[in-house]
Structure 1
Amino acid sequence: MSTPRHLLLVDDDADLLQLLSLRLTANGYRVTAVASAEAAQAQLAIDLPALVISDIRLPGKDGLALFDEIRAQYPALPVILLTAHGTIPDAVEATTRGAFAYLTKPYDAKILLAKIEQALSLTASADGNADDAWREELISRSPRMAEVLSEARLVAVSDASILIRGESGTGKELLARAIHRASRRPKAPFIAVNCAAIPEQLLESELFGHVKGAFTGAVEHRKGLFQAADGGTLFLDEIGDMPLPLQVKLLRVLQERTVRPVGSNDSTTVDVRILSATHRNLDAAMADGSFREDLYYRLNVVTLALPLLVERREDIALLANHFLQAIAARYQKKLNGFAPDALEILMMASWPGNVRQLYNVVEQVCALSTAPLIPAALVQRALRVPALEVLRYADAKQRFERDYLIQLLKLTDGNVTDAARLADRNRTEFYRLLQKNGLDPRLFRGDEDDVAVERQE
């Protein structure tokens, strides 16, 4: 059974909002209803919907301002505007700027449902199947990732060249494979090549092939990756590290759609969709002359930017448990998950290596674990960080309060009146705080350096 598509409704008319919510829910949609643009913005950050339906007239920020912000932050998110007759010109203008449609109040329910279906079909795959099989390797519930995936699915059905930007380990090749699966070429080859991992003298032959005798060691004809990917997708990873001479030859292939093997005078026509990726700043590379501007514009018809793992922290626990189950099955170990403090450590880590580092950490703890529940100590060891003490909020608050009181007593040499005045508390309340934390101000008087502290049982 497919998951219901999520719709966000925005209208300050409570009766209309309730009626529309009931009608859409009855038609199989999951509905979130809010009464203002500000509430809608908060909801978008929490749970990105498949479509927004908004009234133009709203209290505070109006529906047009909300639409403009959606266009800026979530350009692939379709928006349907509801308008009274007096705001029709505004609605028409909004549709010219990218709103999917507008409907006048009172609206026809059948027309609204038809418009919703049309808008949602924009993000469906080429065969009309709206499931998520195409992106099954990209585990996420983050709004940031949801927007990237929405744009990826939208452009996948075209043959436009796509440049995927992102730091190492963010999942650029996984996204490229997902785009291939959602394209018109899913049954044709998907071939990936890391342009930074192959020596310059071999990369040309790897990409374009060679004929026998073209160079020392070329003992037979060999097809290149462009020919091997014919009809499908070629993913050029770390394109920013491609040498300049090869950039010229790649540009010629993209312009002419033909490849000439090394040592050959004949060219072969190829039909290949190009996806590329880089962690480098190509704008800076073009400025210093290490990357060709004309090639950049050939490759960068559409840009997709993958966020860092720390920018999608809500995905960390989800990914960690997903990796754990997969790796445990491979190792034939019975592991149930992470202890709560172990998960907290994972959530707080800095993750410079992004999702790839998280996978490696999970694989290490899976290999070393001798208990069904992964303990915090194993996670700390895998992260190579000092042992971290993860406190509950109440415990952290108590520790801060106690340390604060000790500092005040040190500063005032145990003078409660002065310490209470610095803390902006009366003496009676301050004495209660000292008693609660087991602190005796007399021990802070005199020339003693060490602070004796009573421990509460």
Structure 2
Amino acid sequence: MENQLDKSRPLALIVDDEESIRNTLADVLDDEGWDTKLAANGYEGVDRFKKASPDLVFLDVWMPNLDGIQTLQILKELNHQTPVVVMSGHGTIDTAVRATRIGAFEYLEKPLSLEKILPLLEHANKLRKAHSRTSQLVEATEMIGRSEGLMQIKRQINMVAPRNAWILITGENGTGKEVVARNVHARSTRCNEAFIAVNCAAIPEELIESELFGHQKGAFTNAIASKQGKFELANNGTLFLDEIGDMSLKTQAKILRILQEQKFERVGGVEAIEVDVRVIAATNKNLKEEIEKGQFREDLYYRLNVIPFELPPLRDRGDDISDLCDYFFQQFSLELAEPQKRLSDDAYLMLKQYRWPGNIRELKNMLERICIMIPDEVIRVEHLKGLLPVDDEPRPTPTLNAQAATLKQAKTDFERAFILDKLEENQWNVTKTAEAIGVERSNLHRKLKVFKIDPKQRG
């Protein structure tokens, strides 16, 4: 039987069609300081996993309808970090290998022995505490920085998260689109339900319908069992469709239908499955341009773009570089069990001036290399010179021309250099540049004529 939950105790989910095994294992876990949730089949196990977020799962292989291997695949898609112990009274090497490849934490043969269970509980508890520390760090500083651009995004998240409106997030690769989506989910009324992320660009075209909508057994070659799709797994929760601009027009049409009707059929199926899903989509493409090219459906764009989020690139968040470096250095320090590194003032300035074409992802990867390859605790300019690409050196900051004959000439030279710098920063887009420097577009155009700057000619 299930015990009363104590938030200070770890939680295990036991999925087995034999009641005697469920209850016996629950008693053992209770004696070892664990709370338990019980499920009599795979479907019930998936449902309880989504609602309870257990720290450990004991999963039987041989169950009717949805067997243990299929259930394991679903659980790993929902949360790949949760350790799952697969159990079987009719174990074979093939079954053990399949379970391990999918991501099983351990494979145990029945009857279960206390000698094998206790070390697993100890190991799983250590993992739980480690994940808890990391989660607390991530939750506390997930969106790192204090720049005005980021603060605007945070305010927008707090405003729209409690609603169920669909969201379209745009921004360059590496700007943190999934982080924003997870923040919206965490602050929504669906926060206790599943958050399912799908990278539309990473799934082959012939498999994307099966991934999104699921399939029936025998629907196509190698469909040896029925499978739930991402929409079904995200029921009552949030589905994050990343890189939606890379989705085919055929799949876009099906997505549009689901958004309109909130129901669909699995591939090879005839039964309509109803879902209640909040969709958050993201792309690094200009969807209006894709619509003009005939590569994205206009009706889907307006269906998704109820609440638009446009994430600023890291080069426009220079004031956040210091906070981001401190955060990632702290993460890597914990992972590597080494003293935390820090930047010298001149190294920080160098990073702040760099353009970061790969955005936060590029910064994180570079800092990880620093933590692994450089033993010094203080990171200086000489350390960075070998890490920043030679063909993308930091832009010099515009400065006053000390050789100018008059103050007016010095101010004019500085203003021209400043505008050129900001135009380059905004890919020579006059509208974006005007917004960035806080002037009317018409005023900026007049300045460009005065300084004889033609954006079409790239300066």
Q: Residue 74 of structure 2 aligns with which residue?
A: none
The 1:173/1:389 distance shift into structure 2, 3 A limit, reads closer
Q: Deviations over 1:349-375 (max 9, x none)?
A: 011111111111111111112111122
Instruction: Please say if 1:368 is aligned against 2:385.
Output: no
Residue 245 of structure 1 aligns with an amino acid whose one-letter code is: K
The 1:183/1:324 distance shift into structure 2, 3 A limit, reads same
Q: Give ranges in structure 2 of 5+ residues lacking alignment.
A: 1-136, 407-459
Q: Residue 158 of structure 2 aligns with which residue?
A: 153
Q: Deviations over 1:110-158 (max 9, x none)?
A: xxxxxxxxxxxxxxxxxxxxxx997731011011111111112111111
| TM-score scaled by length of structure 2 | 0.55
The 1:388/1:266 distance shift into structure 2, 3 A limit, reads closer
The alignment partner of 1:333 has SS state of coil
Instruction: Please say if 1:193 is aligned against 2:202.
Output: no
The alignment partner of 1:184 has SS state of coil
CA offset at residue 335 of structure 1?
A: 2.7
Q: Deviations over 1:55-97 (max 9, x none)?
A: xxxxxxxxxxxxxxxxxxxxxxxxxxxxxxxxxxxxxxxxxxx
Matching of residues 33-44 of structure 1 within 5 Å: none
Instruction: Please say if 1:181 is aligned against 2:186.
Output: yes
Matching of residues 166-177 of structure 1 within 5 Å: 166-177=171-182
Q: Residue 333 of structure 1 aligns with which residue?
A: 338
The answer to whether the 8 Å contact 2:330/2:340 transfers is yes
Of residues 148, 151, 176, the one that matches 1:143 is 148
Of residues 246, 251, 266, the one that matches 1:246 is 251
The alignment partner of 2:317 has SS state of helix
Of residues 277, 286, 290, the one that matches 2:295 is 290
The alignment partner of 1:352 has SS state of coil
Q: Residue 163 of structure 1 aligns with which residue?
A: 168
The answer to whether the 8 Å contact 2:355/2:392 transfers is no
Q: Residue 359 of structure 1 aligns with which residue?
A: 364
Residue 220 of structure 2 aligns with an amino acid whose one-letter code is: F
The alignment partner of 2:198 has SS state of strand
Structure 2 Cα separation of the partners of residues 259 and 156 of structure 1: 26
The answer to whether the 8 Å contact 1:134/1:182 transfers is no
Structure 2 Cα separation of the partners of residues 386 and 255 of structure 1: 48
Of residues 304, 307, 313, the one that matches 1:302 is 307
Q: Residue 441 of structure 2 aligns with which residue?
A: none
Matching of residues 315-334 of structure 1 within 5 Å: 315-334=320-339
Residue 173 of structure 1 aligns with an amino acid whose one-letter code is: E
Matching of residues 429-444 of structure 1 within 5 Å: none
Residue 188 of structure 2 aligns with an amino acid whose one-letter code is: S
Q: Residue 227 of structure 2 aligns with which residue?
A: 222
> Which ranges of 4 or more aligned residues in structure 1 deviate by more than 6 Å?
132-135, 386-393
Residue 215 of structure 2 aligns with an amino acid whose one-letter code is: H
Give the share of equivalent positions with the same residue, in percent.
43
Structure 1 Cα separation of the partners of residues 392 and 244 of structure 2: 40
CA offset at residue 387 of structure 1?
A: 12
| TM-score scaled by length of structure 1 | 0.56
The answer to whether the 8 Å contact 1:380/1:388 transfers is no
Residue 172 of structure 1 aligns with an amino acid whose one-letter code is: K
Of residues 203, 206, 211, the one that matches 2:208 is 203
Structure 2 Cα separation of the partners of residues 387 and 298 of structure 1: 39
Residue 275 of structure 1 aligns with an amino acid whose one-letter code is: I
Structure 1 Cα separation of the partners of residues 143 and 284 of structure 2: 19
Residue 229 of structure 1 aligns with an amino acid whose one-letter code is: A
Residue 346 of structure 1 aligns with an amino acid whose one-letter code is: L
Q: Residue 317 of structure 2 aligns with which residue?
A: 312
Structure 2 Cα separation of the partners of residues 227 and 187 of structure 1: 16
The 1:135/1:371 distance shift into structure 2, 3 A limit, reads closer
CA offset at residue 338 of structure 1?
A: 1.0
The 1:339/1:295 distance shift into structure 2, 3 A limit, reads same
CA offset at residue 342 of structure 1?
A: 1.3
Residue 254 of structure 1 aligns with an amino acid whose one-letter code is: L
Q: Deviations over 1:26-80 (max 9, x none)?
A: xxxxxxxxxxxxxxxxxxxxxxxxxxxxxxxxxxxxxxxxxxxxxxxxxxxxxxx
The 1:312/1:306 distance shift into structure 2, 3 A limit, reads same
CA offset at residue 219 of structure 1?
A: 0.6
Residue 195 of structure 1 aligns with an amino acid whose one-letter code is: C
Q: Residue 109 of structure 1 aligns with which residue?
A: none
Of residues 264, 271, 275, the one that matches 1:259 is 264
The 1:133/1:225 distance shift into structure 2, 3 A limit, reads same
Structure 1 Cα separation of the partners of residues 381 and 156 of structure 2: 37
CA offset at residue 252 of structure 1?
A: 0.9
The answer to whether the 8 Å contact 1:235/1:274 transfers is yes
Instruction: Please say if 1:378 is aligned against 2:383.
Output: yes
Q: Deviations over 1:191-238 (max 9, x none)?
A: 100111111101110000001111111110000000111110000001
Structure 1 Cα separation of the partners of residues 264 and 157 of structure 2: 28
**Whose radius of gyration is greater, 1 or 2?**
1
CA offset at residue 386 of structure 1?
A: 8.0
CA offset at residue 348 of structure 1?
A: 0.9
Aligned-pair Cα RMSD in Å: 2.7
The answer to whether the 8 Å contact 2:354/2:393 transfers is no
